[in-house]
Structure 1
Amino acid sequence: MKFSVFTASTPEWTPEQAVRILAQQGWEGVEWRIVDQQPADEPGFWSGNRATWPLSGLEGALAEIAAVTRSAGLEISGIGGYVRCDDHENVDRMLAATAALGARQVRVLMPRTDEGEYRDLFAAARRDLERVSATASSLGVKALVELHHETITSSASAAFRLVEGLDPATVGVIHDLGNLVIEGWERTLSAFELLGPYLAHVHVKNVAWVPGGPEADGTVRWRHEWAPLREGVGDLDEYFRALREFGYDGWVTSEDFSTVLPLEERTRDNLGYLRAVEERTRIAVTA
């Protein structure tokens, strides 16, 4: 396996700072966030993120993106796109940019479940993905569907149903440990086995469920919060054992949205932890 960082989780760094620090720490790749975002007084994960390349004018920035990445000796593990599958013009732009960068794969967003009747949303997304698959094939890249809470593909089962029958060389699935803690959890190895050749990429972050104060009638309502990799509900050892047993040997991308540790310490600690978990699960599976 190879380890990279999604720059949604490095909002305080410029692209140049991000690749320099990540390379020094020993990461092997970077997954670039590409989206037109809202400005902010302070950098944040979703707005004012300094390690984000804008979608507007993307074509003119491709040489710079490639040069910045190459200067640090990193690979592009994928493109973290925010274009929805029914935005055909911008999907085509993202696929073309991915090909030009040699990045191989790019995330394409699925509809949220609160945007309409589920079956209608699902059928339309399937039609869009058939189109995406054909375009991706012509460019030699792969479009990725992420398992994400509050979307039509919150689980591996839903994603498999959406992509089944499409060419896995052109359409794949991102399995995301943290998102599945929130919604869509299925036994990990079973999910990998179901996805089979469609399992194309892995995201790791973690989530904790915390109780709110009791309401007047004693009701306690729980909410999720981003947590450090060691501290959330997701079991990283179990996750890596399942990856190893399935035979996955691709990219594992960290997107840690916890803020307990300062950013540079957080990324350094995460890499050490991920490598330690990978090593002990490798030994356990092969013993």
Structure 2
Amino acid sequence: MKFSVFTASTPEWSPEQAATILAAQGWDGIEWRITDQDAADVPGFWAGNRASWPLTGLEDQLARISDITAAAGLEFSGIGGYARCDNHADVERMLAATATLGARQVRVTMPPLGGADYRELFTSARADLEWVAERAAAHGVRALIELHHRTITSSASAAIRLIDRLDPSAVGVIHDLGNLIIEGHEDFTAAFQMLGPYLAHVHVKNVRWVAAGAGAAAAGAAAEAEAEGTVRWHEEWAPLPTGQGDVEAYFEALSRHGYDDWVTVEDFSTELPLEQRTAQNLSYLKAIEARTAVTHAA
């Protein structure tokens, strides 16, 4: 396997810092976040992220993105795009940019739940993806659908229904351990088997469930829950080793399935400083990979 970092999770670093530090730590690649974002006084994962590239004017930045990546000796594990499948103009731009960079694959986001009837969202997204598949094939790249909570594709079952019979060389799926803890979890092996040739990429992060009143939840919520006799839970991002996702079992299932491609880490926990966090994540995953390899060799 090859390991990379999605730069949504490195908000404090400039692109040059992200590439240089990750390369020095031993990462194989980088997955650049590309989106227009809100400004922020303090860099954050979703606003003011210094390691993100704006979609506005992207074409003028492609040479710089390529140069920074190559100078660090990193590969592209893919592009972390945010263009939604029904925004054909931006999807076309992202596909073209991915081809120019030689990055092979780019995420195309799915409609969130809410508003329209799920069946209508699904039918519309299928029509959009038929167009996306044609355009991805024309550019010689692959459009990726992420299994993501609170979207129409929160599970492998939903994703395979959506993309079944589309060309798997043009459309694939990102399986995401952390997202599936929040919504959509299915047995790892069954999910990989369901996806078959559409299993294109893997994202790893971790999550824990926290009772109302614990962690970041407000004390008022705890009082309300106690009065009603109901405990309410919410998710929080957790370090890879301590969340509720079993990372080692995940890698064992990937290995049994024969997956030997990119694993991209997007750790949104904040217990450790960023540079320590990325270094420890790589050591942790490589140790798990080594144990998994020994187990299967035996």
Q: Same fold (TM over 0.5)?
A: yes
Corresponding position of 2:245? 234
* Residue of structure 2 equivalent to 1:286: 297
Report the Cα distance in structure 1 between the residues aligned to 2:173 and 2:98, rounded to whole angstroms: 16
1:173: Cα distance to partner? Answer: 0.1
- Distance in structure 2 (CA, Å) of the matches to 1:283 and 1:260: 31
**Which one is further off, 177-186 or 209-218?**
209-218
Instruction: Give matches, 1:149-188, under 5 Å.
Output: 149-188=149-188
Q: What is the aligned-residue RMSD (CA, Å)?
A: 0.6
Secondary structure of 2:172's aligned partner: strand
Match of 1:83 in 2: 83
Consecutive unaligned residues of structure 1, counting only runs of 5 or more, are none
Runs of 4+ off more than 4 Å: none
Deviation per residue, 1:182-209 (Å, 9 max, x gap): 0000000110011000000000000000
Residue in 1 that maps onto 2:219: none
Q: CA deviation at 1:284?
A: 1.4
Q: 2:147, 2:128 → 1: CA distance?
A: 17
Superposed displacement of residue 283, structure 1? 1.3
Name the residue aligned to 2:233.
222
Unpaired runs of 5+ in structure 2?
A: 213-221
Q: In the alignment, is residue 261 of structure 1 matched against residue 243 of structure 2?
A: no
Letter in 1 for 2:271: V
Partner letter of residue 131 of structure 1? W
Q: 2:217 maps to which residue?
A: none
Q: Displacement, 1:149? A: 0.1
Q: Which amino acid aligns with 1:216?
A: A
Q: Does 1:9 align with 2:20?
A: no
Pair 1:189-2:221 in alignment? no
Alignment of 1:29-178 (within 5 A): 29-178=29-178
Q: Percent identity?
A: 67
Please state if 1:207 is matched with 2:207. yes
* Range that drifts further, 264-273 or 213-222: 213-222
Q: How far apart are 1:219 and its partner, in Å?
A: 1.3
Distance 1:270 1:109 in 2: 26
| TM-superposed deviation, 1:144 | 0.1
Could you state the TM-score of these two structures normalised by the residue count of structure 2?
A: 0.96
Structure 2 equivalent of residue 251 of structure 1 = 262
Shift in Å, 1:215 = 3.1
How many pairs does the alignment contain? 287
Work out the CA distance in 1 between the residues paired with 2:90 and 2:291: 42
Query: In 2, Cα distance between the equivalents of 1:147 and 1:252?
Result: 15
Distance, in Å, in 2 between the alignment partners of 1:103 and 1:217 is 52
Determine if the alignment matches structure 1 residue 21 to structure 2 residue 5: no
What is the letter of the counterpart of residue 130 of structure 1?
E
- For 1:216, what is the secondary structure of its paired residue? helix
